[in-house]
Amino acid sequence: MSVQTKTIGDMLEKGKKLFEQGDIYFGHGTDNAWDEAVYLLSHVLNLPPDADRALLQNSVSEQDQTKIEALYQRRIDERVPAPYITQQAWFCSLPFYVDERVIVPRSPIAELIYNQFQPWCMQSPNKILDLCTGSGCIGIACAYAFEKAQVVLSDISADALEVSTLNIKQHDLSHRVSAIESDLFNAFDSSAKNSFDLIVSNPPYVDADDLARMPHEFSHEPDLALASGNDGLDFTRRLLKQAADYLTDQGVLVVEVGNSSVALDRVFPEVPFTWLEFTQGDGGVFMLTRTQLRQYADCF
């Protein structure tokens, strides 16, 4: 029996309804059922993320209807984030390969990259470090934003670095972007000291209580990239102690700590963290200069 011809709009409405009834969590690139359906349908139909709404009236072939419905059902049955299903995520309007070796890109730091970290980076950085790089999306996006900069991607996870290396090649940036396996700065040699104009990091920062309560979708992401001790600050404490040694005199440190921002302010009340504001998405991102890191070194 043939499948009734449906339009893109019909298929999206079906996905929206299924997802609203399916008790799934949105937060890995989308925040609502309609956009989640758009994400999966666009993958099957090879549509860009900003496709014209006029396409809603286009018909969908029976074969593609079957593929789309299968992705919808997998999303509901397995509670797996949509980017893992498509193996593609978008960050700073750039496509990145992702799988369950890395977390799904979703950092508000994207907005800072769009704005070239102004007004905190007064000069275009020559060398950038993306710590806890995962898929490499932040560092690679920085390479696009600063076309003359050398960018280093670093992660403790060899699996994550395999993914980031794939993305370096996908974006043809091997001449300016490199990757290193390191626990914080442990694998960096002495030549790296005082060399980075910008260190940016989306490290693990989920505290133990939040980790225990996270929706099932997060169980597909590597725990190593999420958990950071009882208060979510295990990694950030270490970073604050060491970052100044690797920044240039005018260097800047930008770090996302999400909900653990409250704990950070409580633990280091003397430190004048600059909490950055965003037009979209959550906050929880601070900035400190090398001068400030040196000035408050005893606090860390």
pLDDT tens digits, residue range 171-211? 999 999 999 999 999 999 988 899 999 999 999 999 999 99
Per-residue confidence (pLDDT) for residue 61, from 0 to 100: 94
Mean predicted lDDT score pLDDT of the chain = 94
* C-beta of residue 88 within 8 angstroms of C-beta of residue 210: no
Clarify whether residues 53 and 133 are in a common domain: no
Domain boundary among 86, 118, 147: 86
171 lies in a domain? yes
Clarify whether residues 180 and 206 are in a common domain: yes
Per-residue confidence (pLDDT) for residue 165, from 0 to 100: 98
Per-residue confidence (pLDDT) for residue 281, from 0 to 100: 66
Distances (CA, A) of 36 to 45, 63, 230: 14, 20, 32
Query: Among all chains, which residue has been given the structure tokens 């390191």?
Result: 182
Distances (CA, A) of 224 to 8, 215, 290: 39, 17, 27
Clarify whether residues 67 and 148 are in a common domain: no
Phi-psi region of 203 (alpha: psi -120 to 50; beta: other; left: phi over 0): beta
Domain boundary among 36, 60, 86: 86
SS3 195: coil
The C-alpha atoms of residue 198 and residue 251 are separated, in whole angstroms, by: 6
Taking only the tens place, the pLDDT of each residue in 43-66 is 999 998 788 888 888 999 999 999
- Which among 286, 190, 195 is positioned nearest to 240, based on CA atoms? 286
Clarify whether residues 116 and 64 are in a common domain: no
Per-residue confidence (pLDDT) for residue 3, from 0 to 100: 54
Clarify whether residues 162 and 235 are in a common domain: yes
The stretches in the chain having pLDDT less than 70 are 1-3, 281
Per-residue confidence (pLDDT) for residue 51, from 0 to 100: 80
> Is 75 exposed, middle or buried, given 0-12, 13-18 or 19+ CB atoms closer than 10 A?
buried
User: Would you state the torsion angle of the CA atoms of residues 107, 98, 29, 213, taken in this order, to the nearest 10 degrees?
Assistant: -80
- Which among 226, 286, 227, 225 is positioned nearest to 261, based on CA atoms? 286
Domain extent at residue 73: 6-86
The C-alpha atoms of residue 114 and residue 111 are separated, in whole angstroms, by: 5
Number of structural domains found in the chain: 2
Clarify whether residues 71 and 163 are in a common domain: no
Domain boundary among 31, 53, 86: 86
Per-residue confidence (pLDDT) for residue 248, from 0 to 100: 96
93 lies in a domain? no
Clarify whether residues 158 and 204 are in a common domain: yes
226 lies in a domain? yes
Clarify whether residues 49 and 124 are in a common domain: no
